[in-house]
Amino acid sequence: MEILVTGGMGYIGSHTCVQMLLEGMQPIILDNLCNSSKEVLIRIEIITGYRPIFYYGDIRDEKLLDNIFTKHYIKAVIHFAGLKSINESVNKPLEYYDNNVYGTLMLIRSMYKANIKNIIFSSSATVYGNPEKVPITEDFKIGNTKHPYGRNKYIIERYLSNIQHLDNSWSVTLLRYFNPIGAYPSGIIGEDSHYEPNNLIPYISQVAIGRKKKLIIFGNDYPTSDGTGIRDYIHVMDVADGNIMALKSISLKPGLHIYNLGSGRGTSVLEILKIFEKICNKKIAYEIRSRRPGDIAECWSNPIKAKSDFGWTAKHSIETMLVDTWRWQCKNPYGYKQLLDKFNLNI
């Protein structure tokens, strides 16, 4: 089964492609490498024994999309491609609307021409904004987002939902992720963002490895057990498996399918810090600062719908997620770029 995977060289995309290959599927990767590396192809081949077909290009390139859909017998699209830095989206909102929203419009238009009507969209819990209560279920109100990145996800969700409403032969699956972290267990692939990390786990691991001096904790006066924010963390391998299970069970069935992919439990910033210190066997310097605008106290999921509909549940503990993060960081202290430079790899 050939599946177009947009953004398949990125963090979640690369882990999903590995799992697809190990299950006998054929991912066709399209990526412009704006936040990924050509080295990923080598790493995927090391793990699976196969190098997937890769197209270097942009989802806004309609001619390229048309060509891919003509050359391959593609059954569905898993759509990961998109800019994803919250901070950058605030400073460069037009770039985010152009790349993420307009890019999705081009993708859907090309899919229409090729008569491909099955798509899984990589959405986010940010569409829920500041929920009135937790845990969050899929029927909660969405749209009260605090930044352009979240609004991008909300707009794309509404657009895809409208497409399915107008043509009920479409299968549209919206997977709302809650803070993916971790790495492939061997440490061969992991998260290597080109952005300055603004999420907790990449930042804390860079402090632990010595790339940064200290962790900044924004707010210790939230109405939580220790005053720091609580989030729902999920292993990237669980996210990858969720995409594949949804693809097999749900995405080829016409309809609008919406699911939370989360662990169903929350962990505070200070809890993460203490666990990570034990794993890396060192004290991690940190500084408490005031809350950031738009940050919320708690955000964690009720993922029971995915378990009920297609048998998915998060399998990995928070300790395992952080162990795998640290293994990746230790083996790749400067990410993929280090090996590309060292061996002058040219793919």
d(CA 101, CA 151): 10
Peptide bond into 148 cis (omega under 30): no
Residue 112 annotated in active site: no
Contact 340, 42 (CB under 8 A): no
According to DSSP, the residues that pair with 181 across neighbouring strands are 235
d(CA 312, CA 219): 34
d(CA 179, CA 124): 8
H-helix segments, the chain: 11-22, 39-48, 62-71, 86-91, 93-96, 103-113, 148-166, 200-209, 236-249, 269-280, 304-310, 318-331, 336-343
Q: Of 155, 128, 152, whose CA–CA distance to 300 is shortest? A: 128
Contact 122, 78 (CB under 8 A): yes
- Let me know the angle formed at the C-alpha of 194 by 191 and 199, rounded to the nearest 5 degrees: 60
Contact 273, 216 (CB under 8 A): no
Please state the φ and ψ torsions of residue 173, each to the nearest 5 degrees.
-115, 125
- Which one of 96, 128, 149, 154 is the catalytic residue? 149
Q: Of 38, 27, 37, whose CA–CA distance to 79 is shortest? A: 27
Q: Which residues neighbour 130 within 8 Å (Cβ) at sequence distance 6 or greater?
A: 144, 146, 296
According to DSSP, the β-strands at 118-124 and 74-79 are parallel
Looking at the annotation, which residues are catalytic?
149
